[in-house]
Amino acid sequence: MKKNIFYTVLPGVLSLALICACQTAPGKNGGARFITFSEKKSIPLTGSGEPAMMQEFNLLDLEDGDPDSALFRSLVYGGQTAKQYAAERGELYRTEYLEAKNSFRNGDEYGQSMNWYHSETVSLITESPRIRVFSKTGESFTGGAHGMREQRYFVIDRLSGRQIDTAFIIKNGAEGELTALINEALRSRMDPGSGTTLKDGGFFEETVEITENFFLDRAGMSFHWDQYEIAPYSMGPIEVSIPWKQLSALLSAEGEAIRRDLR
C-alpha cells in the first residue's frame, strides 16, 4: 500500500545531529517577506550510529502579517508554522523508525533496508500581483524495493483569499475539452510505436480525468500525477503543460484575468 508521506500520523520524540537555519527573504514583485526554515539530522537506529534515518526539511513560510499566511499555513502545514510542522513531522517519523526495531529478533542484522530517509521541500514557484503558487515535495524510503515521492501544488488567489481549483480557471461546460487536451498531451509523451491509446503506452486507463493537483505560470496550466496514480512506478512522476493559447477558449472570466496577470 502506498504511504502518504505528508499526512501519516504517529507519536514520538526528536533527537540527534541537528543543523537548523531560519532567515527572512523579500518576496517577488514587492510582495511579502518569506521565512525559510532548514533542518537536517541523522537518527541512529542503535547506539552504534549505523544504520540511521536521515531527515531533511527545507521549508518556506509567510510572515504573520501577510494576508495569505493563515490560508497558506492551513493548506501546506495544517495550520502550523513551518518550524512547528517540521518538529511534528520529524518526531512522527523518528518514532516509526525506532519502532521498526521491534520487527527484528535478537541477533538479526538490520541491513541496508534500515537506512531510511525522509525529506520535504516547500517552494514558491510563481508569484504575481494576483496569485501565488507553492510546491510541496516529499521523498521517503522506509525499507522495501524503493522510496516514494509525492508532490503537491497550491494555487492561492490573492484577490479573493482562497485556494484556486480548476473550476475557478475553466468556464462551466468546458471540462470535456480540457480533459481532451490533457489526454492528448499525455499521448504525446508515449514512445513512438507503442500504440495509439494511453493503455498502449503503459497508463492504467484509456482516459485520464482532470486532476486538481496543478499549477499556473506564464507558460500555461500544468497538471501533475505522482507515481502509481495513473501509471506504474517505473514511469515516474508525470506532468503535462497546456499552453495558455490552447486554453484561451476554455477560460472563465477569472481565468482570463489570471492569464493576463501572468503575462
Rg (CA), the chain: 21
pLDDT at 77: 98
Q: With 0-12 CB in 10 A as exposed, 13-18 as middle and 19+ as buried, what is 122?
A: buried
What is the fold, at CATH topology level, of the domain defined by 18-160?
Heat Shock Protein 90 (3.30.565)
Specify whether the CB–CB gap between 6 and 148 falls below 8 A.
Answer: no
* Three-state SS letters, the chain: CCCCCCCCCCCCCCCCCEEEEEEEEECHHHCCEEEEEEEEEEEECCCCCCCEEEEEEEEEEECCCCCCHHHHHHHHHCCCCHHHHHHHHHHHHHHHHHHHHHHCCCCCCCCHHHCCEEEEEEEEEEECCCEEEEEEEEEEECCCCCCEEEEEEEEEECCCCEECCHHHHECCCCHHHHHHHHHHHHHCCCCCCCCCCCCCCCCCCCCCCCCCCEEECCCEEEEEECCCCCCCHHHCCEEEEEEHHHHHHHECHHHHHHHHHCC
Bridge partners, residue 239, by sequence: 224
pLDDT at 106: 72
% of the chain at pLDDT higher than 70: 87
Bridge partners, residue 24, by sequence: 35
What pTM value is reported for the model?
Answer: 0.87
pLDDT at 23: 63
User: Which pLDDT tens digit goes with each residue over 80-115?
Assistant: 999 999 999 999 999 999 998 888 877 677 877 899
pLDDT at 15: 38
pLDDT at 113: 86
- Whole-angstrom distance between the N-terminal and C-terminal Cα of the chain? 42
> What's the whole-number average pLDDT of the chain?
88
Instruction: Of 107, 106, 92, give the one whose Cα is nearest residue 142.
Output: 92
Residue numbers of the chain with a pLDDT score lower than 50: 1-18, 30
The domain ranges of the chain are 18-160, 166-261
Range 166-261 classified under CATH 3.40.190.290? no
pLDDT at 13: 33
